[in-house]
Structure 1
Amino acid sequence: MFGLHYKLERKTMSLAIGIIIAASIGGLIEIVPLFTIHQTVEDSPDMRVYTPLEIAGRNIYIREGCYACHSQMIRTLRDEVERYGPYSLAVESKYDHPMLWGSKRTGPDIARLGGKYSDEWHVKHLTNPRDVVPESVMPPYAYLTRAKARIDDLGLHLAALRKVGVPYTDEMIANASNDAYGQTTPDTPFAEGVTKRYGEATNVRAFDGQPGEPTEMDALVAYLQILGKLTDAAHKAKTAAAGE
């Protein structure tokens, strides 16, 4: 084997051909599965897109580096499924740009965090993690309650996401800022537009517990409360598997 390698190294053309063959094999292994991606990725007709406020919260989540300690991918291992819920499906990350699966867990996986805790719990946890989890090593994010969320440019965010395949409509893009405001102010006329465009099940409330302009805490909690709830595909797959 080594003798063949030494001979190839001494002949430029042979070595070049060998490199091309090796690279072609590796390339085919990576490319061929893409041609069958529509058959391998689950279909989920009930999948909904993130609301503008949830997008703002996701941006804050990325900005603060939360993905470095919390993965969003439950593996098929038994202990993970028993602890976190049904294993993650590819379709659940269909509208995630970039995806935030992660590979490191200083903290628990949060792929199915939505609805597990109350808004008040999340606010306390983000303000001072040790108030609710004494052994936590997570830093505090109390300033999020004081920082106003930037919502004036959310229409641009939605337009950019549409270019990469997220099915935002012209109406959603045009009303992005109003919908972000309406999602945190249920007693205003703007709230009706949110449920009209994103569904009656959309969370509409003051996530940080304070009325008024949405804060970064509002946005981040809104995002955390929707994790694992954009579609029921994983739970349906689990039920179907249990019935076999």
Structure 2
Amino acid sequence: MLKLHYNLEKVSMGLVVGIIVAASIGGIVEIAPLFSINETVELPDDLRPHTPLELAGREIYIREGCYACHSQMVRSLADELDRYGPYSLAAESAYDRPMLWGSKRTGPDLARLGGKYSDDWHVAHLIDPRSVVPASIMPSYPWLMRPLEIGLLRDELATLARLGVPYDEAMIEGAANDALAQSRPDSDGAEAVIERYGETVAIRSFDGDPSKLTEMDAVVAYLQSLGTLTNAPYELLAEGAE
């Protein structure tokens, strides 16, 4: 085999053809399954898309590079199941553009983070990580207390709707108002958020100050949504335990 490779390197066109063939095989192996993904990945009936506020938080999460240190994919390994909970299903990320799977973990996996800590804990952790986790090497993000820009939320939802995320016209038109209302439980729009996105959506002032909408509200809302968009992984784990 080594002799064949050595001889091939001496024929430039032969080497080019060999590279093309090898790359084509690798590409087919990766791309072919995507043509049947709608048949192999069944969406759970209770799967909901992110609310506008959660979506804004996800964009900030990506902007700040959080995905570089935190994965969102629990692998089907015993120690990961014990630490994080049910392993991740492809269907959970069906509405994510882009998805944030991976196995690089400078920090812990966040796929099942929702509800694990209080909003106050997340706010303190983001402003000064070492105030709650002394050994943390995570950077501080005090600037997240600045106002959240919501002017582009409508366009973001409209774009995602064209890509297959089930945002209807009412969700798209009400994106900015829904983002405000989700952080103000006593507002007139809070009920509309629940009607559009379901009873499981958290409606509260995530940064503790309902008088203003901040990037911190958005990021904490997003973090609290992780692992809560569907019960499918927990139901599957329960079935396997029977």
- 1:112: Cα distance to partner? 0.3
Report the counterpart of residue 210 of structure 1 in structure 2: 209
Of 99-108 and 183-192, deviating more is 99-108
Cα displacement string for residues 200-222 of structure 1 (whole angstroms, at most 9, x for unaligned residues): 22111111111212111111100
Report the counterpart of residue 113 of structure 1 in structure 2: 113
AA of the residue aligned to 2:48: R
SS in 2 for 1:219: helix
Q: Distance in 1 between matches of 2:161 and 2:217?
A: 24
Map residues 30-41 of structure 1 onto 2, 5 A cutoff: 30-41=30-41
Q: Distance in 1 between matches of 2:210 and 2:189?
A: 14
- 1:103: Cα distance to partner? 2.9
> Is the Cα contact below 8 Å between 2:43 and 2:94 reproduced in 1?
no
Cα displacement string for residues 17-53 of structure 1 (whole angstroms, at most 9, x for unaligned residues): 5555434433332233223323332431110000000
Report the counterpart of residue 233 of structure 1 in structure 2: 232
Moved over 2 A (4+): 1-28
* Percent sequence identity over aligned pairs: 61
- 1:164: Cα distance to partner? 1.6
Report the counterpart of residue 153 of structure 1 in structure 2: 152
SS in 2 for 1:225: helix
- 1:126: Cα distance to partner? 1.2
AA of the residue aligned to 1:225: Q
Report the counterpart of residue 200 of structure 2 in structure 1: 201
Q: Distance in 2 between matches of 1:125 and 1:61?
A: 14
After superposition, the Cα gap between the structure-2 partners of 1:24 and 1:152, relative to the gap in structure 1 and judged at 3 Å, is: closer
Report the counterpart of residue 85 of structure 2 in structure 1: 85
After superposition, the Cα gap between the structure-2 partners of 1:131 and 1:22, relative to the gap in structure 1 and judged at 3 Å, is: closer
> Is the Cα contact below 8 Å between 1:68 and 1:102 reproduced in 2?
no
> Is the Cα contact below 8 Å between 1:144 and 1:217 reproduced in 2?
yes
Report the counterpart of residue 182 of structure 1 in structure 2: 181
What residue ranges of structure 1 are gaps of 5+ in the alignment? none
Q: Distance in 1 between matches of 2:6 and 2:179?
A: 64
Q: TM-score, normalised by structure 2?
A: 0.92
Of 1-10 and 60-69, deviating more is 1-10
The aligned length equals 242
Q: TM-score, normalised by structure 1?
A: 0.91
AA of the residue aligned to 1:182: A
Residue 127 of structure 1 pairs with residue 121 of structure 2 = no
Q: Distance in 1 between matches of 2:239 and 2:29?
A: 31
AA of the residue aligned to 1:152: G
Report the counterpart of residue 220 of structure 2 in structure 1: 221
AA of the residue aligned to 2:150: I
Q: Distance in 2 between matches of 1:23 and 1:106?
A: 31
Cα displacement string for residues 80-104 of structure 1 (whole angstroms, at most 9, x for unaligned residues): 1100111111111111111112332
Q: Distance in 1 between matches of 2:123 and 2:13?
A: 64
SS in 2 for 1:241: helix
Cα displacement string for residues 99-119 of structure 1 (whole angstroms, at most 9, x for unaligned residues): 112332121111100001111
- 1:142: Cα distance to partner? 2.1
Q: Distance in 2 between matches of 1:215 and 1:96?
A: 23
- 1:229: Cα distance to partner? 0.6
Q: Distance in 2 between matches of 1:135 and 1:20?
A: 48
